Chains A and B, each alone.
Chain A
Amino acid sequence: MDPKELRSAVEAILFVATEPVKTSDLAETLDEKEADVTAQLDELKKVLDENVGGFALEQTAGGWRLATRAEHDSVLKKYFAKKGENRLSLAALETLAITAYRQPVTAPEISDIRGVNSTGVIRTLLERRMIRVAGRKNVVGAPFLYRTTKDFLVHFGLNDIRDLPRLEEFGDLIGEAMSDDLVAAISSAEPTPASEVQEISAEETERAEAEALAELEGLESSRSSEQRE
């Protein structure tokens, strides 16, 4: 295929796709070298950016997707009569931040860092598919372990979880003069050792999620008389 043909074929697939498309999948489908496909993706991105049309090409969650430019949000909302913002609450964002940097992490660990019971927020994030059950921790009570999802990467425009900025890059804090070893201790605090993690397969995820929900609900209702998130 000549480059122009290849680019238009790639564009066609991306136009119809509803999820980020991997370069390798495009290469396989089109029977072309990955490097050639990547070159055309870059070219397509450049063309779309120069045009400043309704949508742009972006790399996210390990693939490529077409999405509308943010400035058209209000028009789209009006046309599709979308109500409400559906934004994530600050509590949800804090919980998501902890999960992203400390995964796999348990509900008690999250609550501990936040200083408040976080079971309700975890439930919401599970329902919004921003986090998923990744297994159980081999400690007393075998609590569920949570990880961020592909939807999380797409939502925040990350290509890979490793693209998250290092924790110590978040400056402008009180006590900025903290010692280097404390920074190190905070940013690399005890990731759950592999020996304590019991990961589960994709097929088991659904059942585990239902169980996790039931568990969270139990935790919530047993505490709800004294407190609410």
Chain B
Amino acid sequence: MTTTTMPEEEKIDAEESNAYKVTVPAFQGPLDLLLHLIKKNEIDIYDIPITLITQQYNAYLETMEQLDLEIAADFVYMAALLINIKSKMLLPRDETAEGIEDPRKELVDRLLEYQRFKAVAETFAELDVVRMGMWQRPPTKLPGTEASEIDMSEVSLFDLIDAFRTALNRYKEAHPQAIELQRTVHKVSEKMLELFEKVSERAEIRLGWFLEGRGRDELIALFLATLELVRLGGVSLKQSDTFGEIVMTKTENQVDTAQFAMFDA
């Protein structure tokens, strides 16, 4: 280790498990790292010794590199900015001339601004913990309000993705280390047909129920099939409220099931 700028946790990581690729950066960004250095060196933020800070900043980047951490472009950009400021500091300045600013001023202003928001974020973090512990009644269907009476709002793409994601997660949890011996190929056209037949037969299907117990590949095929069917206008998706269950119904439109085959890429 050539430097002492590493936070405790990461040092342990580096010593114990050099073999691992550490991917989580210890700092939120270059400004965060600079604030850390300023605090550590007990520096007056209005009079930053640029040479010292640049040195320590670059040492940190080097260590990141040694640890095989991915260095974000933003970090590299800041290194360049520091060198730029450093070189400007070396130029003789006419202290009496008006309108010439300390080359560090802009950086200091940015640091102070970021520091404020970082403090807000810390307060938010405390609130987050407390408020997460306060549960509210989840959205439910009220008794006596049949699906047809509810003002069904449009289903957003988020909600549709959420529905499939929930099913995917459920599948993942139920099948921890599944070893697939034989792979069933799920065709989009087959899934379109399956969905379309089911929705024709039952007038409406609840997506959550329909997706229950399906495998990953099948869910993906079903997701694509759902999108294609909606696009063809054969079915429509409705949802009673935000996060509510998505219901698929058949529309009046005639759909030629023979053309489903063309959706298999």
Contact B114 A67 (CB under 8 A): no
Contact B119 A174 (CB under 8 A): no
Complex: A93 Cα to B212 Cα, angstroms = 34
B79 within 8 A of A: no
Interface of chain B residues 98 through 133 with chain A (CB within 8 A): 109-110, 112-125, 127-133
Contact B140 A18 (CB under 8 A): yes
Chain A: interface residue count, which band? 35 or more
A206 within 8 A of B: yes
Residue among B122, B128, B134 facing the most chain A CB atoms (10 A cut-off): B134
Digitize A41-77: 1 where CB-to-B-CB distance is under 8 Å, 0 elsewhere.
Answer: 0000000000000000000000001111111110010
Residue among A67, A73, A100, A116 facing the most chain B CB atoms (10 A cut-off): A116
Point out the residues of chain A lying under 8 angstroms from B157, CB to CB.
210, 213
Contact B35 A116 (CB under 8 A): no
Known: A97-B117, A115-B78. A206 touches B142 (CB 8 A): no
* Residue of A with least CB distance to B72: A227
Contact B133 A73 (CB under 8 A): yes
Contact B135 A97 (CB under 8 A): no
Contact A70 B120 (CB under 8 A): no
* Residue of A with least CB distance to B173: A83
Known: A90-B28, A174-B115, A227-B72. A18 touches B45 (CB 8 A): no
Contact B124 A186 (CB under 8 A): no
Contact B28 A172 (CB under 8 A): no
A98 within 8 A of B: yes
Known: A115-B74, A227-B70. A156 touches B124 (CB 8 A): yes
Contact A93 B124 (CB under 8 A): yes
Contact B124 A114 (CB under 8 A): no
Contact B120 A209 (CB under 8 A): no
Report which of B32, B124, B137, B154 forms a contact with A18, defined as CB distance below 8 A.
B137
How many chain B residues have a CB neighbour from A under 8 Å? 53
B205 within 8 A of A: no
Point out the residues of chain A lying under 8 angstroms from B28, CB to CB.
90-91, 94, 114, 116
Complex: A228 Cα to B23 Cα, angstroms = 10
Contact A88 B29 (CB under 8 A): no
Contact A113 B114 (CB under 8 A): yes
Point out the residues of chain B lying under 8 angstroms from A68, CB to CB.
133-136
Point out the residues of chain B lying under 8 angstroms from A129, CB to CB.
242
Contact A178 B112 (CB under 8 A): yes
Complex: A125 Cα to B172 Cα, angstroms = 24
Contact A167 B120 (CB under 8 A): yes
Complex: A98 Cα to B132 Cα, angstroms = 21
The smallest C-beta distance from A153 to any residue of chain B, in angstroms, reads 11
A144 within 8 A of B: no
Point out the residues of chain A lying under 8 angstroms from B174, CB to CB.
none
Complex: A68 Cα to B125 Cα, angstroms = 20
A173 within 8 A of B: yes
Point out the residues of chain B lying under 8 angstroms from A170, CB to CB.
116, 119-120, 123
Contact A18 B46 (CB under 8 A): no
Complex: A129 Cα to B243 Cα, angstroms = 11
The smallest C-beta distance from A221 to any residue of chain B, in angstroms, reads 14
Contact B132 A86 (CB under 8 A): yes
The smallest C-beta distance from A202 to any residue of chain B, in angstroms, reads 11
Complex: A156 Cα to B131 Cα, angstroms = 6
B39 within 8 A of A: yes
Report which of A88, A173, A223 forms a contact with B73, defined as CB distance below 8 A.
A223
Contact A93 B121 (CB under 8 A): yes
Complex: A69 Cα to B120 Cα, angstroms = 24
Contact B156 A17 (CB under 8 A): no
Contact B110 A70 (CB under 8 A): no
Contact B135 A206 (CB under 8 A): no
Report which of A86, A156, A210 forms a contact with B127, defined as CB distance below 8 A.
A156
B92 within 8 A of A: no
Contact A94 B70 (CB under 8 A): no
Beyond the given A94-B118, A116-B30, could you list 18 further A-B residue pairs with CB under 8 A, ordered by the A residue number?
A: A17-B137, A18-B136, A70-B131, A70-B133, A73-B133, A85-B132, A97-B121, A98-B117, A113-B110, A113-B113, A113-B117, A115-B32, A156-B124, A167-B116, A168-B116, A170-B123, A173-B116, A210-B156
Can you report 18 residue pairs joining A to B where beta carbons are below 8 Å apart? A18-B137, A68-B135, A73-B133, A73-B134, A73-B135, A86-B132, A93-B128, A101-B120, A116-B28, A116-B72, A156-B128, A167-B116, A170-B123, A173-B119, A174-B38, A178-B46, A210-B157, A228-B70
